[in-house]
Amino acid sequence: MVTLPKFLRKWRKRRLRKSGSESEGDCSIGIFVSYPKSGRTWLRVIFDELGVRLKYTHDGMGASKLHPFVKRNHCTRRSYKKKPVVFLTRDPRDTVVSAYFHQKLRMCDYDNAMSEFIRDPLHGVEKIVRYNLTWLERGPRLPAFLPITYEQTSDNCFSVVRKVVDFLGCELRDTDIERIVAGNTFDKMHERESGGEYRQRYDWAISPGDPDNPESFKTRRGKSGGFVDYLSVVDIIYCDEILNRYKYYERIKEVIG
């Protein structure tokens, strides 16, 4: 098992003592929901720099409190009816690969191979699929709900950020959004994480588990479809069978387009 540096062990203990992975949100104007490792860090930094205060939550799926998926537990909090909710999804195959490296190299509490991870009921791709579909089924019933995808963000980050700030009722100029988006490409964020520039604002939440191992970074790769570089043919077939069983892409398209 990988041993965390001392400063990251302290940070992890503080995280485990908290009730979840949510940030303080008393002054938030909306709630941002996503399954862990769906790529929200990128958007979070952008919204923070734009002054858009959101409450970030994994809706009980944080990596520090692992448990099997239970549908009835999700999208049910009263707070979701009181504020606009933005929901981010990412290809479950990319999500599960990113989650594997997070558990193995950042949380340091998973020793098995990736093939086992993607099939594990506490971590695997089926859990991610069921979580995303539950939110996309129930979310539209909320008073204000906006689903977005990581893939849309990768294709046109400005367009997605513009859509979110308009949904939240924020008055921001296109030039300001363009400037912040241009200053926070994934590559630039990776460089800042490597140089320790995020520590003052985000503590160790955006810091590598091992500076010499690029797979341990919070801003690890950010590549859409990157799962093909890590999963075997057999593993990809397994993931695709899960996606097809739940008619994942058809159901995603019905809500997001």
What percent of the chain is predicted at pLDDT more than 90? Answer: 55
Degrees, nearest 5: CA angle 210-121-128: 75
Parallel, antiparallel or unpaired: strands 85-89 and 30-34: parallel
Q: What is the pLDDT of residues 40-55, one digit of tens each?
A: 888 998 999 899 999 9
pLDDT value at residue 84? 95
Delimit the domains of the chain by residue range: 19-256
Q: What is the pLDDT of residues 197-228, one digit of tens each?
A: 666 666 655 655 555 555 545 555 567 888 99
Right CATH for 19-256 from 2.60.40.10, 2.40.50.100, 3.50.50.60, 3.40.50.300: 3.40.50.300
CA 185 to CA 7: how far, in whole Å?
Answer: 27
| Lookup: tokens for 79 | 């707070």
Rounded Cα distance, 117 and 82, in Å:
36
Decide which of 109 and 48 is more confident: 48
Q: How long is the chain?
A: 257
pLDDT at 200: 65
Cα–Cα distance list, 187 to 95, 192, 219 (Å): 19, 9, 8
pLDDT > 70: what percent of the chain? 75
Tens of pLDDT, residues 23-44:
443 478 999 999 999 988 889 9
